Structure formats: C-alpha cells, structure tokens
Amino acid sequence: MKYKNLLVVSAWFFASVAWGFTYINNDHTGLPIKWQDGPIPMLIKLGTAKTLSDGSNYSTSVQAAMQTWNSLVGGSQLQGQIVPAGSAGDGNGFNEIVFASTIFGQSFGSSTLAVTTVFARGNERAEADIIFNSARTWDSYRGPRRSAYDLQRVAIHELGHVLGLDHPDEAGQFVQAIMNSHVSDIDTAVSDDIAGAQNLYGPPGMPANDNFANAIAITLTDGSAQVTGFNTGSTKESGEPNHAGNAGGHSSWWAFTAPANGSVAIDTRGSIFDTTLGIYTGNSVSALSLPIASSDDINPGIVQASLLSYTATAGTTYRIAVDGFDGDTGSIKLNLTFTPGPTITAQPTDQTVTVGGNTSFTAVATGTPEPTLQWQVSTNSGSSWANLSDTVPYSGTTTGTLVLTAGTAAMNGYQYRCVATNAVSPATSTAATLTVTKLSQTITFAGPANQAFSASPLSLSATASSSLAVSFTVDSGPATGNGNALTLTGAGTVTVRASQAGNANYNAAPDVVRAFTVAANFASWRLTKFTTAELADPNRSGPTAIYGLDGLTNLVKYALGLDPKIDETGDVNGTHGFATMTATDWVFIYFRPAAITDVTYAVEVSTDLVTWTTDGVTHEKMANTASSETWRALYPHTGAATAKIFVRLKVTL
C-alpha cells in the first residue's frame, strides 16, 4: 500500500483529545503504520557543493534534521547516508531523499514544497522517499521565515511523515506543531510533535519496568485502573516465556494483587502497536507459572489489541507482561477491571474409571448472595466448555456433586468444572480430568502343527477374549499371509503372529507368536528348482518328467539330491553310485540325502531286463553324515565267469 503526504506553502502534514498529533493508520487494523525497532537507513542524494546560511550544505542540513528526531525517540533511529546527488526510485526498496521537478512524473502543484511517499505492508512501513521541489529556492537557517525556504525545518516536517506522523491541523486539531500542513516560524519539533513521535517509538532510553523485578504496581480506583507506558527500549530477559505463544522481544511488566476473589478483565486497547499479553504468578522471571491467561489479538489480524479475563484469588499477585507481536513496539495503554465474586472452597479432583464404570466430582462454593452452581464439560482439553444437563450419563449438574454413570472410552480426557455464579460475578473451579481406562483382552492361538510342505493354503484360527477379530502376520520363514490364509513357499521354520489392536473399549491384546516346522518334500523341492512357467508344465517339472537328456526323472534326481537341469549322462560308477562284486555277492552302492522322508527307495535286480525283483536283495545303510547317507544292496552270485546281473534303484512317492 502506498501513501503520499504533501507540504505546501500555505498548507504543510494528524488525533486525540489532549494532543493534536495524528497518524496514517492501517485501514484494516486501525493501528498506525510505523517502522519496526532499529535503524531506518536513508540515502541522502541532495548534493554537498553549496554552503548554506548556517554553514551546512543540503545533505548535512537534512542530517541535522534527522538528529532532531533521533534525540527525541527511542525505538527507531533515522540513519542518513550521504551519497552523490541523484534521483529516487518509486517502490525500489530504498529510502531516498532527493530534489526533483516532479513527484515520480506527477506535477508538484503550484504551492507544494515537498512530498513524502510511503510504502507499507500491513502495520509496517517498507519504504519512504522525500522529494523536495527543485523549483523552490532553498537555504538552511533558524528563526523567522525568509524568502528562501528553510530546508532543515521542512526536512524535520517530512521526516516526521517518514516516522508516521500526519498533519494535526488537517485532522481538525488546532495546535502548535511543526507537523501542521502550513509553513510557520516553528523551526523544530515541539511538544505536540514530540508526544506523537514518542507515542509511536517511545522516549530515549529503557523503560523503568523493562525487567520483571521492576514491575510497576497497579492500584485500583473504584474497581478499575488505567496505566500507560512503553515497550520501546525494553528487552526480553533470559528464561522469559513467549507471551501468547509469540517470541516478541520487548516486554514491559506490571503487577496486580487481587484484593479479593473475583474476576479480572485486562485489555491493551489504546496501545499504538500489535500487542501480546500474558498473566502469570511467580516470584521471578525464571519461576513463572504457566500462563494464567494470555492473548494476542481481540479479533485476529483486525483488532490487534489484546484482551483477556481470568479468575483471581484474594492476596495473589499476578504478573502482567505486555510485549509486541514479532517484536513490535510503541506506547502501551493497559486497562484493568476487577469484580469480586464467589469463592470455590473445595475443588473437584481427577477421577479414574474403567469403561462402563461410575464416578463423581464434588465442588463447594460460598458467597453472598449464595451462588448457583453449574457443571460444565470440555471435550477438547479446555479449549471450549459446555453446560451439562441432567441427561444420561450425567446427573446432579446444578448441585455440588456431579455423577457420571457408565463411562465410555470416548470420555477419556474429558474435563469437568463447576461454575458458581451470584449477582456479583462467576467463579470457576479448577478443571478435573476424567480418565477412562480401556478393558484388557487376551488371544488364544494354538498355531499350526509341524507338517510337510503343501501348496494348499493353511487356514489360521485364533480367538480374542473380547470377541474382536484377530489378525495374522508372518514374522519369519517361508510363508506369506493374506487374512487368515497362510501360503507356504518352501521348507523351514515359520513364525506366525496373532494380533488384536483393540478399539474404543479394549486395549490391544498382547501378541501371541507361534512357530511350526515345514518339512521338505518333493513339492517344496520343485519350487526351488523350476521357474513359474516350468512349474505350470508337468511335462517339465512333474515327478516322471525327464528335463534333460540323461534319462533320469525329476523324482529320481530329487531322491538322489541331484539338480534336474544338470545332465548326469557321463556319471557311470561315479559320484552318485557304483556297482562292484565280492567273492559272494553283487554289490550296488549309492548315495542319497539324509533329510528326504517322503520317498521309498528299493533296489531291484533282473537277469533279462524284463522281470525285476527285490527277492534275495539285502538293502542296508552303511554310513551317514548330517546331510547324506550311503546305502548298499547285496545280491548273491554263483561265481560263474559268465554270470551277469542287472540292478536298478526304484524310488516312489
């Protein structure tokens, strides 16, 4: 937003009852538009060549005008930097002071001496430019006016606009002020100007009540008090809390001791800046209670004064901190009203009940006249409260004892308080908290038995004592779960977890974990040896299928611990078995995995490759390790040199 102030020959640029000063205000918030605390850098581009009547030049004359204001205010300081003469940019982010023949391309008008333009964001000034009319004759002197215009007194006027002061005479005020819109013999800031500027930025120095320890006591007159002060120059002490949740940075302190039990209302209406307000108890800034009450805006972002109320206890001293939102500063007006009221002599206490249980809260209140009682409930941690009536599950809502029947888990964390009211004011008890504990539950889960691998899903079954549904997850092992269906993906140990997360009435049940063993078999072996496509084709992965060219079926290779995809054609009397003879017997020795339990092994003999038999064959284990076994088959022979025998290993599932 942009504002423009004109200083004219017959008309120079402010309202209250006692003073004539006035400001340019934010139309949205009603607060003056001012600079934040700190330096206000300004580029003085007026030139230094000409020596004026008082020995200054154009630039140093303006510097002297800046010092006039700097000596009077404390929050912000004009910081002038003399640079080569030049022009100003409109809205370029720099504060510039120049001579020009136009106001950024617009005519000055026949009687205009100087113009101040200001850019603002919300309540804060962002840029200010002063343009002196180059068509006028300028000098620098004190005292009565001369034919040439006094640059320094005009600069004091325009810098007042930069700070935020407006024209009091144009606001209907008739006061002596350099900020009036007409040129006069006043050549410096006078009392009205000073009061206006200090109202915005405070006087030089630190307020007496900057620190908590130096809080100014508030004294009531007929139940109310109004005090004024500043937070410009104030600091934030180590350990000081953020008032109304904002970091602030410039707090001033007051103290109020309640003469009796009653209600207190405090606001900062009339303060010149966006305030935050906090009320505490405690004897040092590092030992304050949680805020008794706090407030930022009466109407967020619109009415930026703070307002709060609280119930005070007789004889208790309350510490009142006023700070500025995001470090804002200015003059403070603090308004306090105290109204005595009833007293809560016995406070309700926290209660705990299980789901479905009953409990009660009790409060005692005294006062003259005798107060009526009303119990209230908050379901949002005290953010808002609602009156209770005698409807299930509540009774006794207007008596000293509130009864709650059949508490539910949804009520956990509710707060129940009692408000005592008489003709004077209400008194509110402390909030008591209801804790509703959930019921416990357990899970019965036997888990699957040890078993051989199967491609068919297993159905898991478990029950919760709450009758709520139980869920299952696979913690580890060759299996996947989907609901209560468990699909085995191989052999090994499978660990399954049964869980019940609970609900509004029940706590989560302790998980039950069960483990079972899946024994390896031909079906699990197939999963490890064949692709998905091969598994779907029994001619490639079935037990009688021959994958390679060696003539061995998949079942035989499984039984001997061989890979179905490796050709064993060249392994005659090799690593998987061999035949020999002794003086009395034909001998066939072979090796097989020790872990296979789903295969039947038999050694058969034949003399003609047509008829096969196990008659007369001795089939026995010779040796074993953890992973393999060595087996031998004996068949007697006649000893004839031309005798021959055929032997084979037969495996069946």
Closest by CA position to 437, among listed 377, 351, 378, 349? 351
Where the chain has pLDDT below 50, the residues are: 7-19, 572
450: CATH? 2.60.40
pLDDT at residue 4 in the model: 52
- Name the CA dihedral angle for 161, 165, 167, 170, rounded to a multiple of 10 degrees: 130
Burial 419-430 (b: 16+ CB within 10 A, else e): bbbbebbbbbbe
Q: Map residue 522 onto helix, strand or coil.
A: helix
Side-chain-facing half-sphere of 587: CA atoms under 13 Å: 13
pLDDT at residue 183 in the model: 82
- How far apart, in whole angstroms, are the C-alpha atoms of residue 590 and residue 632? 7
Same domain, 426 and 469: no
Domain termination residue (choose one: 477, 502, 519): 519
Domain termination residue (choose one: 437, 468, 486): 437
Angle between helix axes 151-163 and 58-70 (nearest 10 degrees) is 50
pLDDT at residue 343 in the model: 85
Domain termination residue (choose one: 421, 437, 453): 437
- How far apart, in whole angstroms, are the C-alpha atoms of residue 526 and residue 455? 11
Same domain, 227 and 136: no
In a domain, 423, yes or no: yes
Same domain, 593 and 452: no
Same domain, 168 and 25: yes
Residues linked to residue 165 through DSSP beta bridges, in sequence order: 23
In a domain, 376, yes or no: yes
In a domain, 524, yes or no: no
In a domain, 540, yes or no: no
Look up residue 524 and give its two tokens.
């699990």
In a domain, 546, yes or no: no
Same domain, 194 and 52: yes
87: CATH? 3.40.390.10
Same domain, 131 and 43: yes
273: CATH? 2.60.120.380
Regarding pTM above 0.75, the answer is: no
Give me Rg for the CA atoms of the chain: 48
354: CATH? 2.60.40.10
Q: Could you tell me whether strands 275-280 and 359-362 are parallel, antiparallel, or unpaired per DSSP bridges?
A: unpaired
pLDDT at residue 15 in the model: 27
Look at the chain and report how many structural domains it folds into: 5
Same domain, 194 and 48: yes
In a domain, 249, yes or no: yes
pLDDT digits (tens, 9 = 90+) for 117-173: 999 888 899 999 999 999 999 999 999 999 999 999 999 999 999 999 999 988 888
Same domain, 153 and 11: yes
In a domain, 38, yes or no: yes
Q: Judge contact between 189 and 70, C-beta under 8 A.
A: no
Same domain, 112 and 29: yes
pLDDT at residue 581 in the model: 86
Domain that holds residue 73: 2-201
Q: Judge contact between 164 and 19, C-beta under 8 A.
A: no
Same domain, 358 and 378: yes
Same domain, 34 and 175: yes
Same domain, 322 and 471: no
Using alpha carbons, list the distances in angstroms from residue 92 to 87, 160, 219, 492.
12, 21, 50, 76
In a domain, 539, yes or no: no
Closest by CA position to 635, among listed 575, 583, 586? 586
